[in-house]
Structure 1
Amino acid sequence: MTLLLLVIIYLAFISLGLPDSLLGAAWPVMQKDFGAPLETAGFLFMTIAGSTIVSSLVSGKLLKRFGTGKVAFFSGFITASALLGFYFAPSIIWLFVCCIPLGLGAGAVDAALNNYVAIHYKAHHMSWLHSFWGVGASLGPIIMAQFISEQNGFRNGYLSISGIQFALAVILIFSLPLWNRVSKNSNMAVNNSLEDTPYESAHENLKHIKPLQIKGVKLALLSFLFYCGVEATVGLWGSSYLVNMKELPASVAAQWVSFYWGGLTIGRFITGFVTFKMSNKMLIRMGQIIAVIGAALLILPLPSFISLVGFIMVGLGLAPIFPCMLHETPRRFGKTHSQTIMGYQMAVASTGSTFIPPLLGLIASYTTIGIFPYLLVIYIALMLLCSEQLNSLIRKRVRLSKVKVI
């Protein structure tokens, strides 16, 4: 029963990733079909992400009232309906309308499933959970590439993904009894208790300290902002960059971007095993270095296939960063405020996904899409800088806690 529900949750995360990469892969064709400016994709993406933020903020109340299973089913249903709307959309205005339920469904199911797995399953399942999101994000452009060259190609691509989402909604509605049964199984609860963290050891009275007053929290929030900004920017504008700057066919560009999502997926799957041997801090640092090298390859005047290598390296580099930063939260800032800070991090992450990709589109509309790799390098470098400054603060805090113990 437990294994069956875990498989269903993994399938749900695959379906959660499927729509996330569709718009970027299909936009070179959609732009011509609707006669829209290049930057319109950024505003569509902003609408989806903004709706995701709203649903994430209210997800706690929804979960308390309806439970995880019902929220996951309803979210999957409205997501499938929104994708069906992309198939029928007669104009850009209708695309914006469909983006709202698409974002609302994605935000609610994301928060619901992450929370459920964190409570009822072991920690390494979290990394694998996000790798299955990557499976969906990788399959999205692949499925779209099969239709994109045909007449009404992008519409048929959205129709096929919508069908998959409706199938998942059917699975979820039949799985509703499983959620409560697993929740009541006390053996499934994971003891996530930690030893006193350096922050808690150095401060006795934590109740009077506001989370945002903790040193390093703002650096952590900036790290999440730039991480999600990079991840979403590559997914949204990678295909347009390859078509306009590398002169690749739209179908080939979509396939190449799918390799980026593939690198992200494989990297997160491997991370689930590597975490037993390497610290989160080391994995985060290595990932950022690999990602910035991959982005730099896109700048160099090298043959086109090197761009594919660059996209894969960026995906592999980004893979461990997000789950490892989430897992580090209690150790960095203590158990007392970790849940509140976790919420702040997810909100800022969604903000990065919402505003940073459209910023590139806006700048590119006045210059060129060729700025794409330069901005990636800047964003990743800023993320690395924030992360290393945070590590430095934590090292000082560790020394302080040791002095206090002595």
Structure 2
Amino acid sequence: MATFFLLIIYMAFISLGLPDSLLGSAWPVMQTDLGVPLETAGLLFMTVTAGTIVSSMASGTLLKWFGTGKLTLISCIMTAGALLGFAVAPSLVWLMLCAIPLGLGGGAVDAGLNNYVAAHYKAHHMSWLHCFWGVGATLGPIIMAQYISGPDSWRDGYLTVAGIQFALVILLFVTLPLWNRVAKNNHTALGEEKEDLHGAEDQRSESSVKPLQVRGVKLALVSFLFYSGAEATIGLWGSSFLVNMKEVPAAVGAQWVSLYYAGITVGRMITGFITFKVANRTLIRAGQITALAGAALLILPLPPVFSLAGFMITGLGLAPIYPCMLHETPVRFGRKHSQSIMGYQMAVAYVGSTFMPPLLGFLASLFGIGVFPFYIVLSAAAMLLFSEKLNAFLTARKNALKNNTTFTG
């Protein structure tokens, strides 16, 4: 039963990824249809992710009130209704209004399901959970491309995804009694797994320190900021870059962005197996270097097919970073603060995905969408820089503790 129920959770994460990539894929057509400036997509995206931040920060309280099953059901109803609103919205104002429940619902599902899987399933399922988000994010542009390439409109794409979300609502409603039952069955296994987790080498000197005051946390937070900013910026503006700079059709641009998400999806599926043999720190570093190389490929004045390769390589590079950084939290900062710090990390990640894509939209309105690849390269380089600074800090602390010397950081 636990395996069957895990498939339901994975399907819920597919539904979480579906709307995330729709706006960027449809925007070249939506912009013309609505008659609004290019950078308006950034405002819509910022509205969605602002709602996501609010609901994720409140998720702890909401989970206590409703439980994970009911909260997931309510959130999916909100996102399905919001997507239906996108499909019939007569103007930009209505799109902005529908973006609010879309973000609120998405944030609650994200925080709730991440918490549930971390609490009731083994650690490697975290990578696979985020892999299924990639499945949804990959399917979104594919679905949209089918409509905008033919006589149908972007509204039909949103309507189709809304229908998928409502189907999930029905499934979640039917399986609602299973949530507590599965949690109770997995309680013993959870206790054994928690005993196997290794905290940071020594947190004795920081036992009374607040989570944000733990040394090294700020470096981790900045890494999350640039990771989510880069991932979201590519998803939102990648299609516009391909259409306006590489002169590919809008439908082809949406399909190519879907392959970027496919790179993330395949990478996370593989990462779930690799984590049995390779350390998280190694996977994070390798992913950051790969993402930087893929982004650099977009800068070069090469034929459009190389841009496709750049998107896929960047997606593969980004794949292991987020789930591995989340899973590495207890190792980096100790079990005492890990839960609080993990919440801060997710909140900062949402801040990155809220403000960095609109910032590119503002820059594109001044200098043109050609700034897109430079923006991604700088984001990937900054993520690598702060992550390596954190690694150096952790290595120095470990050596100091091993040699029984005082570490001042």
What interval of TM-score do these two structures reach, taking the shorter chain for normalisation? over 0.9
User: CA 1:36–1:2 in 2, change beyond 3 Å: closer, same or farther?
Assistant: same
What is the SS of the residue equivalent to 2:206? Answer: coil
**Structure 2: which amino acid aligns with 1:189?**
L
Q: Which residue of 1 aligns with 2:317?
A: 317
Taking the TM superposition and a 5 Å limit, the aligned residue runs for 1:37-186 are 37-185=37-185, 186=187
Tell me if structure 2 keeps the 8 A contact 1:17–1:134.
yes
Q: Give the AA of the match of 1:123.
A: A
Q: Are positions 1:303 and 2:338 aligned together?
A: no
TM-superposed CA distance for 1:150, in Å, is 3.7
Residue type at the aligned position of 1:192: K
What code does the residue aligned with 2:122 have?
K
Letter in 1 for 2:174: F
CA displacement at 1:207 relative to structure 2: 3.2
Alignment of 1:7-406 (within 5 A): 7-185=7-185, 186-189=187-190, 191-194=193-196, 197-199=199-201, 201=202, 203-404=203-404
Q: Deviations over 1:294-341 (max 9, x none)?
A: 111111111110000000000000000000100110110111111111
In structure 2, distance between residues paired with 1:319 and 1:121: 21
Q: Distance in 1 between matches of 2:75 and 2:353?
A: 20
Distance of aligned partners of 1:187 and 1:194 in 2 relative to their CA distance in 1, 3 Å threshold:
closer
1:152 & 1:229 partners in 2: Cα distance? 32
Decide whether the 8 Å contact of 1:297 with 1:307 is kept in 2. yes
Q: Provide the C-alpha distance between the structure 2 equivalents of 1:21 and 1:188, rounded to a whole number of angstroms.
A: 36
Using the alignment, how far apart are the partners of 2:188 and 2:215 within structure 1?
37
* CA distance in structure 1 between the aligned counterparts of 2:73 and 2:229, rounded to whole angstroms: 28
Using the TM superposition, give the Cα deviation of residue 194 of structure 1 relative to its aligned residue in structure 2, in angstroms.
4.7
1:192 Cα deviation after fit: 1.9
Deviation at 1:47, TM superposition (A): 0.1
SS in 1 for 2:110: helix
CA distance in structure 1 between the partners assigned to 2:53 and 2:74 by the alignment: 17
1-side partners of 2:257 and 2:265: how far apart? 13
Write the letter of the residue equivalent to 2:194.
N
Q: Which amino acid in 1 is paired with 2:63?
A: L
Q: How many residues align?
A: 404
Separation in structure 2 between the aligned mates of residue 172 and residue 198 of structure 1, nearest angstrom: 38
In structure 2, what is the Cα distance between the partners aligned to 1:312 and 1:246? Answer: 16
Tell me which amino acid in the other structure corresponds to 1:47.
T
Deviation of 1:149 after TM superposition, in Å, equals 2.9
Write the distance in 2 (CA, Å) between the matches of 1:204 and 1:274. Answer: 32
- Length-normalised TM-score, structure 2: 0.97
Distance 2:183 2:328 in 1: 25
Q: Within 1, Cα distance between the matches of 2:57 and 2:353?
A: 15
Of the structure 1 ranges 353-362 and 392-401, higher mean CA displacement relative to structure 2 is found in: 392-401
Specify the code of the residue in structure 1 equivalent to 2:81: S
Structure 1: distance between partners of 2:84 and 2:275: 39
> Which stretch of the first structure deviates more once superposed, 364-373 or 149-158?
149-158
- Contact 1:291 / 1:318 at 8 angstroms: preserved in 2? yes
Q: What is the CA distance between 1:195 and its match in structure 2?
A: 6.0
Q: Is the 8 A contact 1:198 1:397 kept in 2?
A: no
Structure 2: segments with no counterpart, 5+ residues: none
Q: Separation in 2 of the partners of 1:18 and 1:188?
A: 32
Normalising to structure 1: TM-score of the pair?
Answer: 0.97
Paired with 1:388 and 1:3, the residues of 2 have a C-alpha distance of 37
Which segments of structure 1 move beyond 6 Å, counting only runs of 4 or more? none
CA contact (8 A) 1:31 1:37 kept: yes
Q: Distance in 1 between matches of 2:211 and 2:179?
A: 32
Q: Could you tell me how far apart the structure 1 residues matched to 2:195 and 2:188 are?
A: 15
% identical aligned pairs: 64
Contact 1:268–1:319, Cα closer than 8 Å, also in 2: yes
Separation (CA, whole Å) in 2 of partners of 1:198 and 1:107: 29
In the alignment, the residues of structure 1 paired with residue 71 and residue 200 of structure 2 have an alpha-carbon distance, to the nearest angstrom, of 37
Amino acid corresponding to residue 241 of structure 1 in structure 2: F
Listed as ranges, the gaps of 5+ residues in structure 1 are none
Query: Is the 2:206–2:214 Cα contact (8 Å) retained in structure 1?
Result: no
Q: Report if aligned partners of 2:12, 2:168 keep a CA contact under 8 Å in 1.
A: yes
CA distance in 2, matches of 1:196, 1:174: 38
User: Contact 2:14–2:134 at 8 Å: present in 1 too?
Assistant: yes
- 1:188, 1:105 → 2: CA distance? 30
Does the 8 Å CA contact 2:200/2:335 hold for their aligned counterparts? Answer: no
Amino acid at match of 1:246: K
Shift of residue 373 of structure 1?
0.3
Alignment check: 8 A CA contact 2:85 2:98 kept: yes
Contact 2:83 2:161 in 1 (8 A): yes
2: CA distance, partners of 1:205 / 1:375: 40
Q: What one-letter code is carried by the residue in structure 2 that aligns with 1:70?
A: K
Give the partner amino acid of 1:296.
A
1: CA distance, partners of 2:200 / 2:64: 33
Tell me the secondary structure at the aligned position of residue 378 of structure 1. helix
Residues 53-104 of structure 1 show CA distances to partners (whole Å, capped at 9, x for unaligned) of 0000111111111111000111011100000001110000000000000000
Determine helix, strand or coil for the equivalent of 2:294: helix
Structure 1: distance between partners of 2:123 and 2:291: 25
CA RMSD after TM alignment: 1.3
User: Conserved in 2, the CA contact under 8 Å of 1:280 and 1:324?
Assistant: yes
